[in-house]
Amino acid sequence: MNRNGAGPEFTKKKFLSLPPERRHKKCADLLKRAYEDLLSGKDIQSILEYYHTLDDWMAGPGTLLPDPTSLSDRYHLHLHEARSFLREHNLLPRVTKDDRDNSEEILPISIYLDNIRSAHNVGSILRTVEAMALGKIFFSPNTPFIDNKQVRDASMGMHLHVECIKTDSIEALPKPIIAMETSPDAVSIYEYIFPESFTLIMGNEEYGCSENTMKAADELITIPLRGRKNSLNVANAFSIAAYEIARQRKGICL
């Protein structure tokens, strides 16, 4: 386009004489400008008309809708054809990557890690507890504690913001005690109504909850699965449960 954005920069002959990668790069540049102008409330009709001319000369994908998602999708299509994969070529709104200074109110919920072996799983659970502001974590004697470097690393520093307690007494845990287990007698987490305060028990990666824990449990819950595998990684399973707890208690993402 010319410097005013209203007229053509190329004739058909000149444009088609360019290497394919440069043609697509020119189209991508046009769409980037159209996207930025659209977000600024400017009229993008003349830009789109010129883009459609170039696209037609290349026998491209055709009519483009004047909305941010369509512009972004087509922009990335041209970047792909131009073999340009720079990180800064993101048109849709940026995601938030910075942590917040403070947590929301912490829910009165406890998590008991029952003989979990993997320090990485423990750290991942700890990180999820903090992210969902769920409360405190009780560690059974054989579960790696926060003095374990891998636990600290996997928690991404969240071991400093979650109350962590070693215990060998299941009876001392806040009631009711709810165990997550792959049992035909367990209630789906999507049908279960979580109480105001409770302890959620996550069991060993291979054997599940211990016999003593199962005897002490007041309720059994499970995550319904549709595939051949009967269970999930314990940290992944906890993330699903944590989200459902937070959804019910705090009304997120309804």
Superfamily of domain 109-250: SPOUT methyltransferase, trefoil knot domain (3.40.1280.10)
In degrees and rounded to multiples of 5, residue 15 shows phi and psi of -65, -45
> Where residue 4 falls among pLDDT bands split at 50, 70, 90?
very low
Separation of alpha carbons 1 and 118, rounded Å: 59
Q: What percent of the chain has pLDDT over 70?
A: 88
Res 6: pLDDT:
43
Nearest partner of 129 among 98, 97, 165, judged by Cα: 165
Where do you find CATH 3.40.1280.10 in the chain? 109-250
Nearest to 74 by CA among 86, 56, 61, 57: 61
Q: How confident is the model at residue 248 (pLDDT cuts 50, 70, 90)?
A: confident
The confidence score (pLDDT) of residue 109 equals 93
pLDDT of residue 18: 92
Within 10 angstroms of residue 131's Cβ, the number of other Cβ atoms is 16
pLDDT in tens, 75-112: 888 988 888 765 555 666 556 666 666 767 788 999 99
Main-chain phi, psi angles of 108, to 5 degrees: -80, 65
pLDDT of residue 55: 92
Q: Which two tokens stand for residue 13?
A: 């002959």
